[in-house]
Amino acid sequence: MTIVLVLLSWLAGLAGFGLLVFGVALFHLPLAFIVAGAGLLAWAWRADQAAAHLKRGG
């Protein structure tokens, strides 16, 4: 059951990010690329932090 909740929350976050970028693209396309890049950088940073936390044994 826990894995289902994790997957659903991951999919909800992905859908929300996609909708945010799409909404910005309707307003101004270059800004949508900036928002997408910033979001992907933030995702990579958080994934790195999570990996470091797991490696430490947390």
pLDDT at position 28 is 97
Count the domains in the chain.
Answer: 1
User: Is the pLDDT at 1 greater than 80, yes or no?
Assistant: no
Query: Which structural domain, as residue segments, surrounds residue 8?
Result: 2-56
d(C-alpha 41, C-alpha 26), whole Å: 22
pTM surpassing 0.75? yes
What was the pLDDT predicted at 21?
A: 96
Does residue 58 have a pLDDT over 70? no
Q: For the segment 20-57, what is each residue's pLDDT rounded down to a tens digit?
A: 999 999 999 999 999 999 999 999 998 898 888 888 87
Helices of type H across 1-58: 2-27, 29-56
